[in-house]
Structure 1
Amino acid sequence: MAAQPTPKEPTSKEPTPKGAWKITFLLFLFMLVNFADKIVVGLAGVPIMTDLKLEPEQFGLLGSSFFFLFSISAIVVGFIVNRVETRWVLLALALIWALAQFPMVGTVGFATLLICRVILGAGEGPAFSVAAHAVYKWFPDEKRGLPTAILSQGSAFGVIVAVPALNWVIVNYNWHYAFGALGIAGLLWALAWLVLGKEGPLVEASSTQAAEPKIPYAQLLTSRTFIGCIAATFGAYWALSLGLTWFTPFIIKGLGYSQQQAGFISILPWIFGAAIVLLAGWLSQVLMARGVSTRIARGVLGAAPLAAGGAILAIMPHVQGTGLQIALLVVGTGLCGAIYVVCPPMISEFTPASQRGAAIAIYGALYTLAGIVAPAVMGSVIQHSPTLLDGYFTGFTINAVIMVVSGLLGLLLLWPNTERARLAGQAVATHSPVVPAKAGTHPA
Structure 2
Amino acid sequence: MSAQGTPSAAARMAGTSKQTSTATPKGAWTIVFLLFLLMVVNFADKIVVGLAGVPIMTDLKLEPAQFGLLGSSFFFLFSISAIVVGFLVNKVATRYVLLTLAVVWALAQFPMVGTVSFSTLLICRIVLGAGEGPAASVATHAIYKWFPDEKRTLPTAVLTQGSAFGVILAVPALNWVIVNHSWHYAFGALGVVGLIWVCAWLALGKEGPLEDTQALAVSEPKIPYIRLLTSRTFLGCVIATFGAYWALSLGLTWFTSFIVKGLGFSQSDAGWISILPWVFGATIVILTGWISQVMMVRGYTTRMSRGVLGSVPLIIGGLILTTMPHMQGAGLQIALLVVGSGLCGAIYVVCPPMLGEFTPASQRGAILAIYGALYTLSGIIAPYVMGKVIERAGSMIDGYMTGFTINAVIMIGSGVVGLLLLWPNSEKARLTRGAAVQTAPLKRAVSPT
Which residue matches 1:215?
A: 223
8 Å contact kept, 1:94–1:186: yes
Which residue matches 1:441?
A: none
Which residue matches 2:3?
A: none
Q: Distance in 2 between matches of 1:109 and 1:211?
A: 53
Q: CA deviation at 1:426?
A: 3.2
* Structure 1 position 128 matched with structure 2 position 136: yes
Q: CA deviation at 1:223?
A: 0.1
Q: Which amino acid aligns with 1:268?
A: L
Equivalent of 1:151, from 155, 159, 170? 159
Q: Distance in 1 between matches of 2:213 and 2:253?
A: 43
Q: CA deviation at 1:421?
A: 1.2
Q: CA deviation at 1:428?
A: 5.3
Alignment of 1:297-316 (within 5 A): 297-316=305-324
8 Å contact kept, 2:137–2:369: yes
Which residue matches 2:94?
A: 86
Equivalent of 1:278, from 265, 286, 291? 286
* Structure 1 position 360 matched with structure 2 position 350: no
- Name the CA shift for 1:368/1:358 in 2 (closer, same or farther; >3 Å): same
Q: Distance in 2 between matches of 1:425 and 1:278?
A: 34
Q: CA deviation at 1:427?
A: 3.4
Equivalent of 2:182, from 174, 179, 190? 174
Q: Distance in 2 between matches of 1:189 and 1:428?
A: 43
Which residue matches 2:240?
A: 232
Alignment of 1:48-87 (within 5 A): 48-87=56-95
Which residue matches 1:19?
A: 27
* Structure 1 position 321 matched with structure 2 position 329: yes
- Name the CA shift for 1:89/1:428 in 2 (closer, same or farther; >3 Å): closer
Could you tell me which runs of 5 or more consecutive residues in structure 2 were left unpaired when the two chains were aligned: 1-17, 442-449
Equivalent of 1:103, from 103, 108, 111? 111
8 Å contact kept, 1:12–1:143: no
Alignment of 1:331-342 (within 5 A): 331-342=339-350
Alignment of 1:174-193 (within 5 A): 174-193=182-201
| Residue-by-residue CA offset, 1:104-161 (whole Å, 9 max, x unaligned) | 0000000000000000000000010000000000000000011000000000000000
8 Å contact kept, 2:87–2:365: yes
Q: CA deviation at 1:227?
A: 0.1
- Name the CA shift for 1:254/1:139 in 2 (closer, same or farther; >3 Å): same
Q: Distance in 2 between matches of 1:279 and 1:416?
A: 21
Which residue matches 2:420?
A: 412
8 Å contact kept, 1:319–1:325: yes
Q: Percent identity?
A: 74
Q: Distance in 2 between matches of 1:100 and 1:392?
A: 31
- Name the CA shift for 1:138/1:314 in 2 (closer, same or farther; >3 Å): same
Runs (4+) of structure 1 exceeding 4 A deviation are 205-209
Q: CA deviation at 1:433?
A: 5.2
Which residue matches 2:13?
A: none
Equivalent of 1:139, from 144, 147, 150? 147
Q: CA deviation at 1:317?
A: 1.3
Q: CA deviation at 1:13?
A: 2.7
- Name the CA shift for 1:197/1:116 in 2 (closer, same or farther; >3 Å): same
8 Å contact kept, 2:73–2:125: yes
8 Å contact kept, 2:90–2:366: yes
Q: CA deviation at 1:211?
A: 1.4
Q: Which amino acid aligns with 2:210?
A: L
Q: CA deviation at 1:422?
A: 1.3
Q: SS at the partner of 1:203? A: coil
* Structure 1 position 403 matched with structure 2 position 386: no
8 Å contact kept, 1:12–1:140: no
8 Å contact kept, 1:203–1:209: no
8 Å contact kept, 1:60–1:379: yes
Q: SS at the partner of 2:40? A: helix
Q: SS at the partner of 1:202? A: coil
8 Å contact kept, 2:221–2:435: no
Q: Distance in 1 between matches of 2:277 and 2:94?
A: 31
* Structure 1 position 388 matched with structure 2 position 408: no
Q: SS at the partner of 1:107? A: coil
Q: SS at the partner of 1:24? A: helix
Q: SS at the partner of 1:67? A: coil
Q: CA deviation at 1:208?
A: 5.4
Q: Which amino acid aligns with 1:29?
A: L
Q: SS at the partner of 1:138? A: coil
Q: Distance in 2 between matches of 1:112 and 1:276?
A: 37
Which residue matches 1:264?
A: 272
Equivalent of 1:423, from 424, 431, 436? 431
| Residue-by-residue CA offset, 1:185-235 (whole Å, 9 max, x unaligned) | 000000100010000000029955521111000000000000000000000
Q: Which amino acid aligns with 1:401?
A: V
Query: Given the two structures, how large is their TM-score scaled by the length of structure 2?
Result: 0.93
Which residue matches 2:8?
A: none
Q: CA deviation at 1:12?
A: 3.6
Q: Which amino acid aligns with 1:388?
A: M
| Residue-by-residue CA offset, 1:23-44 (whole Å, 9 max, x unaligned) | 0000000000000000000000
Equivalent of 1:39, from 37, 43, 47? 47
Q: Distance in 1 between matches of 2:316 and 2:269?
A: 29
Which residue matches 2:122?
A: 114
Q: CA deviation at 1:425?
A: 3.5
Q: Distance in 1 between matches of 2:287 and 2:297?
A: 15
Q: Distance in 2 between matches of 1:22 and 1:433?
A: 41
